[in-house]
A = this chain, B = another copy of it.
C-alpha cells in the first residue's frame, strides 16, 4: 500500500452462547485489527435468561494493549459484542469508542457499528432540537437516541423503525439484555458474516463478524453473509430473520477487495486473495510491458504482483523488503534524509533490482507522493526502468460510507492526467486497472458494487457531505 491516507474503517464481532464469550470476542477483534487501530471495546451480557446486565470495557489502542486477562475476566457472560475503530466521523476520543451503551426504557442496549450514516447530522440536529443530549461526535450515537425515543415500543419494532430511517452504510451488531442482533444496510456497503462455532465441550454458538478471518482464528464455520436489508437476531427461542421495508440499489464496497479486507477473508462471497490475484492478471493483459522482474509494494501489493507475474510470465521477486518492526510513530532526523518516510518501512534491494527493467505493482495510488519515493529508491538500487502498475482504477473521489479518505483536491488522479502523474512519480510508464477490469476481476458488475471512489457514482444522496 503506497499511501497513508485511504484508512481502514471499523470491525464488529458478536457471539451468542459460549461461556468464553469475552475471550472469543477478544480474539475475533484481534483478527479484525486491520479494520481499526484507534480503539477497541467489548460488551458482555451476563444472565440473559433473567434480567440480563451488561459489562463493558473500552480503551484507546490496539486490542492486545487494551485488554488484559484481568479485564477479560471481569467481562462475564456467554454473550458478547466487540468493536475495533478507526475514527471516521468524530475525533479520536474515548467517548467515541464503541460499543456504545445506554439504558433505555425497557432494555439496555449496546451497539457496534461499521460504516457511516450519511444523514446522521440531519437526524442529530433534529434530536438536539427535541432535547437530546449527545456525549460524543460519532454518527452511531444518533441511532441510540432514535431507539430511546421509541422506548415505549417493543425493542425490535423500535429498531426496525429506526434503522429504516438511516441512509448510508451500516453493518451493525446490537446487544440487548435478551438478544444478539445483526443489521446490514439495504445496500450492503460493508460486509457482515454469520457463522457457527462448536466449543470443545460440544456447545454450539452463533457468531457474527465483519470478515471471515475472525472465524478462522476461533475455529468457527462460515455459514452465510447477513444479507443487505436483513435484521437477524438470536435469543433463547433461537435464530430469527426479517427484512427492512426498504428497497435500494446494491452497493457493496469494491475497495474492500482492493485494500481494506484481509487477503485471507471471503468477502461478498469472493476470496479476497483470489480477487487481488485477478487484479494483477487482468492488469497484465491490459497493459503489457517488456520487463525483467515483477515486484510488489509489500505487503498489500503481493497478490496482484503474483497474478501479474503469472499472466505476463515475467518472474516475480521480492525487490523491496518491508520492515515489520515499524511502530505507529518514529522520530525523523532534523536534516532531511531522502525518501526517509518510506525507507523506514521499505528497503529496495540492489541484488534483485540492479540493471533490471522493473514492474512495480501496488494496490492503489492516492496522492502519488509515496509512489514517487518508492520509485526513487528503486532507481537508486540500480533499476534501469520502472513501470508502475496500479491494481485498481484511478481514485478520483472521496468515500462517505465509513472510510477515512483524503479530500477530493488531494487525490492526484483528480488533478493530473495519467501522463503527468507518471512524470510526477518518475516512472517510465504508469498503468491503472480499468474499471471494466475491476469488475471482471471481482466477477461482478456496476449494479452490485459501489465504486464511487473510482467513478463518482454515489449510490445515495450525500446530504451536503461532498462540499470539498
A interface residues with partner B (beta carbon < 8 Å) = 20, 23-24, 26-27, 30-31, 33-34, 37, 62-65, 67-69, 72, 102-105, 128-135, 144-145, 148-152, 199-201, 213, 216-219, 262-264, 271, 273-274, 299, 302-303, 306, 310, 315-318, 321, 323-327, 329-338, 343-344, 347, 349-352
In the assembly, how many copies of this chain are there?
4
Complex A-B, nearest 10 residue pairs according to Cβ-Cβ distance, in ascending order: A64-B327, A33-B325, A271-B351, A264-B321, A131-B149, A131-B148, A200-B335, A102-B133, A264-B347, A23-B333
Partner of A218, one of B302, B329, B337, B352: B337
Partner of A331, one of B68, B263, B330, B343: B68
* Contact present for A330 and B30 (CB under 8 Å): yes
User: Which B residues are in CB contact (< 8 Å) with A262?
Assistant: 321, 323
- Closest chain B residue, CB of each to CB of A325: B33
User: Which B residues are in CB contact (< 8 Å) with A63?
Assistant: 325
Partner of A64, one of B102, B263, B330: B330
User: Which B residues are in CB contact (< 8 Å) with A30?
Assistant: 323, 325-326, 330, 344
CA separation between A149 and B133, bound complex, in Å?
A: 9
A-B contact pairs, 21 of them (CB 8 A): A20-B334, A23-B331, A23-B333, A23-B334, A64-B327, A64-B331, A67-B331, A103-B134, A129-B152, A131-B148, A132-B133, A132-B148, A216-B343, A217-B343, A262-B321, A262-B323, A271-B350, A273-B349, A273-B352, A302-B318, A306-B316
Given the known interface contacts A105-B129, A131-B150, A347-B217, the answer about A331 and B26 at a Cβ–Cβ threshold of 8 Å is yes
* Contact present for B317 and A306 (CB under 8 Å): yes
* Contact present for B199 and A335 (CB under 8 Å): yes
CA separation between A129 and B105, bound complex, in Å?
A: 5
Partner of A310, one of B68, B133, B144, B315: B315
* Contact present for B133 and A144 (CB under 8 Å): yes
* Contact present for A321 and B64 (CB under 8 Å): no
User: Which B residues are in CB contact (< 8 Å) with A132?
Assistant: 131-133, 148
User: Which B residues are in CB contact (< 8 Å) with A201?
Assistant: 335
Partner of A318, one of B67, B213, B306: B306
Partner of A131, one of B105, B273, B336, B347: B105
User: Which B residues are in CB contact (< 8 Å) with A302?
Assistant: 318
* Contact present for B20 and A335 (CB under 8 Å): yes
* Contact present for B327 and A62 (CB under 8 Å): yes
Known pairs A103-B133, A135-B135, A213-B347 / 11 extra A-B pairs, C-beta < 8 Å:
A20-B333, A24-B333, A69-B331, A103-B128, A216-B347, A217-B344, A217-B347, A219-B337, A263-B318, A302-B318, A306-B317
Partner of A263, one of B20, B69, B321, B350: B321
User: Which B residues are in CB contact (< 8 Å) with A337?
Assistant: 217-219
Given the known interface contacts A316-B306, A318-B306, A331-B68, the answer about A349 and B271 at a Cβ–Cβ threshold of 8 Å is yes
User: Which B residues are in CB contact (< 8 Å) with A145?
Assistant: 131, 133
CA separation between A129 and B106, bound complex, in Å?
A: 9
User: Which B residues are in CB contact (< 8 Å) with A331?
Assistant: 23, 26, 64, 67-69, 72
* Contact present for A264 and B349 (CB under 8 Å): yes
* Contact present for B333 and A27 (CB under 8 Å): yes
* Contact present for B323 and A273 (CB under 8 Å): no
- Closest chain B residue, CB of each to CB of A33: B325
* Contact present for B144 and A128 (CB under 8 Å): no
A222 to chain B, nearest CB (A): 11
- Closest chain B residue, CB of each to CB of A347: B264
A80 to chain B, nearest CB (A): 13
* Contact present for A105 and B133 (CB under 8 Å): no
A59 to chain B, nearest CB (A): 12
* Contact present for A219 and B338 (CB under 8 Å): yes
CA separation between A72 and B151, bound complex, in Å?
A: 41
Given the known interface contacts A273-B321, A303-B318, the answer about A336 and B200 at a Cβ–Cβ threshold of 8 Å is yes
A398 to chain B, nearest CB (A): 26
User: Which B residues are in CB contact (< 8 Å) with A24?
Assistant: 333
CA separation between A106 and B33, bound complex, in Å?
A: 40
A113 to chain B, nearest CB (A): 16
CA separation between A262 and B33, bound complex, in Å?
A: 26
Given the known interface contacts A335-B199, A351-B273, the answer about A329 and B64 at a Cβ–Cβ threshold of 8 Å is yes
User: Which B residues are in CB contact (< 8 Å) with A128?
Assistant: 103-105, 151
